[in-house]
Every structure is written in C-alpha cells, then in structure tokens.
Amino acid sequence: MSIKVGDQIPEENLIVMTERDGPQGFSLREYCKGKKIVLIGLPGAFTPTCHRNHLPGYLDNYDALKSKGVDEIICFSTNDIFVNSAWIQSLGAAEKVIMLSDSKAEFSKALGTDYSDPFGTSIKTQRFSMYLVDSVIRELFIEQESGQALLSGALNMIDSI
C-alpha cells in the first residue's frame, strides 16, 4: 500500500460526467481543497457487493454523514464513466454522490489499491473508503476480505469521523 493517513491525495485526474459537456477531467486534489470529503473506491459498478451493500450503505446514511460535517460523498471505480453514470442513475443517487471514473486505473495505481481482477479482464481498485480534509487523508479503511463492505462501510466511517 503506498498511501497512508496523513498523505495528500494523488494528483492523477479522474473523469466526471457533466450534464452540459459530457465526460470531463476532474482533479480530486483540487476539488477537495477546503472541503471534507468521503471518498469511496470500489471494484466495479453493478457488482454484487458494490451494488447491494457498499454504496447503498452510504446512500442510506447520507444525512448522518452530512451531520458530521461531510461536504461531499465521492465514489469511483475503474469502470468507464458511461457505466458509472448509468449505475449511479440506477441507484437514484445522482443528487447525493459524485461518481468518477478511473478507467485507466492511474489513480488506483497512485493510491496503491490497484489489482488485476480474478477474471483477467481489467485492473480494479480494492474496496476502500477514506475521509479527506482539505485533500489530506484523515481516515483510511481498506477491506481485506473479498465481497465485504464492513471496514469501508458507512457505519464505520460515521463512527470514525
């Protein structure tokens, strides 16, 4: 693992889908300046744990996170931005979560969370969550067990900030 608590978030850009201009570059480091952000990294949109547990836990606890002073919840995966946008729309979460794409896994590699999926189809990011204050990592929770979202889940994040 290359990142740790106290580090600044890497500079590699991600992709966001804008309503007006379509896919655009997104500097997470720049966006986080002066804000408190919960960042969720997950292996893939529409995958069982991501779709049923991980992100839905954050949606269900959106108000609790906001009451803790969180400005934004941001989520990313290595899926392309079109898949990620369709997924976030299917969950009805577009008003609560900024969805980003790391389709070339450059951000994941900079974090040290990248891995080859067991099917050999692509590079994924490990399931994790982090709390960022002014682009600095204050809390970091990386799942050790496949198919779980306990350490990186919303309830653990709420208890930790």
Which residues are the active-site residues?
50
- How far apart (Å, rounded) are the C-alpha atoms in residues 70 and 12? 23
- How far apart (Å, rounded) are the C-alpha atoms in residues 47 and 62? 21
CA nearest neighbour of 40 among 97, 84, 2, 81: 97
- How far apart (Å, rounded) are the C-alpha atoms in residues 48 and 52? 6
